[in-house]
Structure 1
Amino acid sequence: MPALPTATRLGLLYALVFAGIGVAMPFLPLWLASLALAPETIGFLLALPIGVKILATAPLMGLVDRGVAARRILVAGSLGLFLTYAAMPAAAGFGWPFLAVLIAANAVAAAPLVPCLDYLSLAAVRREPRLAYARIRLGGSLGFLAASLGGGWLLGLVGERAGATVFLAVLALVSAAGSAVFLGLRRGEPPAPARSTAAAPARPGRMPPALLLAMGAAALVQASHAAVYAFGSIQWAALGLSPAAIGLAWAVGVVAEIAVFAVIGRVPALNDAPFRLLVLGAAAALLRWAGLVGTAALPAAILPLQVLHGLTFGATQLGVMAALSRLAPDGARGAAQGRYSALAALASALATVASGAAFRIGGGPAALALMLPVAGLGLALALAAGRARRSLD
């Protein structure tokens, strides 16, 4: 049987990993609630993985620069997810502290999965310029959408308490097998040759200023989603939207993200243009949050504004990945990938806490309004990154 093309293998792995995220994000909180835990305990258990990933991602990705194959980290991480998800129901029977230990271990296992896939995909694009990161990453969005919709249907049949962790364990095991099979077809991950557009040489391990600014810009723009991620559904339900309508609003955002990943490479001005993409994502974030604040009492405005998710998330993700591919110095690419992931997690955690305080004071509009300066600072850093990059040319 002939080997699958590189882009297909990586796209399938993105789909598998993001399928787990597409189930865990909406349904793991419901599983915790089914255990009759106190709300404060549930909040702690949901916040715990964020803190763990902030600490664990960069060191784990640094292993790649020290010779540990990224595919081995993927297999090990996926197996770790399988074991921890499978053990969670038993641990819950002993009390929430035991469950907290497993959730922390689960977060360690999960921390390097997406950064490893990004690392492998960017290396493949540098090695084979005909490939496009956006088209590969599209698999993740499709996997997330399919799993969140299909998982909701399946768990509706068997119940969240009975099925959520089992479903997640099965997905993790499939992801481990997929990583072993798909990436096992390649022996090793040779460094890709530098493109002619690469940045001026930097000392190994030292990130160019333009890259640091780009990472900060992307982390802030992604963090500005915190209010809508945490409180969007609550706000929309308060406006009278049904659960089906709220689900449609989220689906519209994911579909828009998929559309951006599918077509961005066909737009000459944005193809392989990291700083333009970052500016576009940040500007769209300002428009999206301002629109949601200004039309807070108009449910009809939600769906059109959700379409901007394709840019606020999609363009920002593509921009920072292109910047990492161009500017991360050889010998420190894994560390750069890990640092960005940790920085984005930290920024999102802080934004989530801040938006929660704002929501208590002024509801959804206040939480969303707080995201405007976050996105605005992201836009300023994106513009500064572009200027810093041009100074090297």
Structure 2
Amino acid sequence: MPPRRPSRARNLLQPPPLPDSRPYRLSLLYAVVFVEIGIAMPFTPVWLDALGLDARVIGLLLALPIATRILATAPLMSLIDRGIGPQRLVLAASLGVALTYATMPAVAGFGWPVLAVVVVLNAVAAAPLVPSIDFLTLSAVRRDPRLDYARIRVAGSVAFLAANLAGGAMLVELGGRVAVPVFLTGFALIAALVAAAIRLGDAARPPPPVAGPRPALPTSLWFSILAAAAIQSSHAAIYGFASIHWTAHGFSTATVGALWATGVAAEIVLFALAGRLPERWKSPFRLLGLGGAAALARALGMTVLGGELLPVVALQTLHGLTFGATQLGAMAAVSRFAPEGARGRAQGTLSAASALAAACATLLSGVVYRAGGPLAFALMAPAALAGLAFVAMAARAAKAEPFGAAATERL
């Protein structure tokens, strides 16, 4: 006798399956962390200036977090490979960031050397934040290919832009000396609460320990990391001196702000639409190559046309590729090539290499801009070319490695 089929009435009475909420939870985590970053990046210098510190001291205090990330990110991210859950790392990091931001106003009264110590501790706490969320997201995507890294990550870019825009109004109302540390502490605490509350299932579990010695990162991944770091470092002159250059050519403050918003908006559009790209364009090598080619065009364009408004608008839209495509390509490389037992280290190595390249490029572009103005933008072209060369080396190395050249894992 054949088994009875469930009646249609019973099927109608059963509630439909709930939609997967993991992407929204991960997007929320990106958003709360990037709101904090979107306030810290542009307005921490304002707060330091409000304390009455010398410009050289402010420069030192802004450089310390970069140096700290170079040294601290990879070891802290390696804790994931040793059994520390990435979600717990986000929670601990957010609490550490909140604590250090909360103490900064008080310790500033003891002099800048004491403040510098707290700035370093803050940078240590913040170092694994974004890489850990990237780790969680990539882990979720590997387990469920229906998820899309770019569409989840776009929440961070939207939150960063919103924080940039709202931060100015916040400073006008409350004053930089009060508002900046208060809001940074508050958003770090919100990030900690979100990290403690959300449920991410298997993605939040630490990977099982690997027997024997730690697995080495494959050559293709090393070259991909170097490519991403070189391409991202080509932003250094633009980040550091584009606003000064544009103002010198008569651009208003409002226009300069709109130009920066244009770049972030282009990044958001790319992340929102990346899932619709043909599969062949989702490989790390194509994405990194696209980012490198755009970075080369942007560097040369800023050198020649960086003082003309319409060309600059077009060049700013390339940020969607120079940053966005490079970020997607780097994440694809880590997801595709990092071996089990070394994924945390791979994520941390990528962040540390990018910070080191950015620090070196920023120092060099400062020297060149002081001597030759827009030639600093031309200096970023070799960084983009180096990135393209590393992309070619990564693609060649992948063909000789066990997993072959099919580096098209979906983000």
Give the TM-score taking structure 1 as reference length.
0.94
Decide which of 375, 384, 391 is 1:375's aligned counterpart. Answer: 384
- The answer to whether the aligner puts 1:221 opposite 2:231 as a matched pair is yes
User: Which stretch of structure 1 is more off in the superposition, 378-387 or 340-349?
Assistant: 378-387
Equivalent residue, structure 1, for 2:83: 67
Write out aligned runs for 1:1-393 (5 A).
5-183=21-199, 188-189=204-205, 191=207, 204-363=214-373, 365-392=374-401, 393=404
Query: Runs of 5+ in structure 1 lacking a partner?
Result: 193-202
* C-alpha separation in 2, matches of 1:240 and 1:218: 34
Letter in 2 for 1:294: V
Contact 2:85–2:204 under 8 Å retained in 1: yes
* C-alpha separation in 2, matches of 1:190 and 1:84: 27
Q: State the identity %.
A: 54
Contact 1:3–1:185 under 8 Å retained in 2: no
* C-alpha separation in 2, matches of 1:117 and 1:322: 15
* C-alpha separation in 2, matches of 1:185 and 1:298: 51
Give the TM-score taking structure 2 as reference length.
0.90
* C-alpha separation in 2, matches of 1:324 and 1:54: 18
Spell out, residue by residue over 1:312-341, the C-alpha distance to the aligned partner (whole angstroms, 9 max, x if none): 000000001001001001001001111111
Change (3 A) 1:317 1:187: closer
Q: CA deviation at 1:188?
A: 4.7
Letter in 1 for 2:384: A
Letter in 2 for 1:388: A
Q: CA deviation at 1:147?
A: 1.0
Q: CA deviation at 1:92?
A: 1.0
Q: CA deviation at 1:94?
A: 1.2
Letter in 1 for 2:324: G
4+ runs deviating over 6 angstroms: 184-187
Contact 2:245–2:307 under 8 Å retained in 1: no
Query: Runs of 5+ in structure 2 lacking a partner?
Result: 1-17, 405-411
Change (3 A) 1:187 1:127: closer
Contact 1:204–1:329 under 8 Å retained in 2: no
* C-alpha separation in 2, matches of 1:223 and 1:300: 25
Letter in 1 for 2:385: G
* C-alpha separation in 2, matches of 1:22 and 1:16: 10
Contact 2:137–2:203 under 8 Å retained in 1: no
Equivalent residue, structure 2, for 1:199: none
Secondary structure, aligned partner of 2:375: helix
Letter in 1 for 2:47: W
Q: CA deviation at 1:4?
A: 6.7
Letter in 2 for 1:236: W
* C-alpha separation in 2, matches of 1:297 and 1:253: 17
Q: CA deviation at 1:300?
A: 2.7
Letter in 2 for 1:357: V
Secondary structure, aligned partner of 1:102: helix
* C-alpha separation in 2, matches of 1:316 and 1:229: 16
Secondary structure, aligned partner of 2:282: coil
Change (3 A) 1:330 1:235: same
* C-alpha separation in 2, matches of 1:159 and 1:391: 58
**What is the CA RMSD across the aligned residues, in angstroms?**
1.8
Letter in 2 for 1:315: A
Contact 1:264–1:271 under 8 Å retained in 2: no
Secondary structure, aligned partner of 2:198: helix
Spell out, residue by residue over 1:186-236, the C-alpha distance to the aligned partner (whole angstroms, 9 max, x if none): 6952659xxxxxxxxxx8421111111000000000011000111111111
Change (3 A) 1:391 1:234: same
Contact 2:207–2:341 under 8 Å retained in 1: no
Equivalent residue, structure 1, for 2:7: none
Q: CA deviation at 1:130?
A: 0.5
* C-alpha separation in 1, matches of 2:229 and 2:83: 27
Q: CA deviation at 1:271?
A: 4.8
Change (3 A) 1:322 1:85: same
* C-alpha separation in 2, matches of 1:274 and 1:325: 10
Contact 1:286–1:372 under 8 Å retained in 2: yes
* C-alpha separation in 1, matches of 2:49 and 2:147: 43
Q: CA deviation at 1:77?
A: 0.5
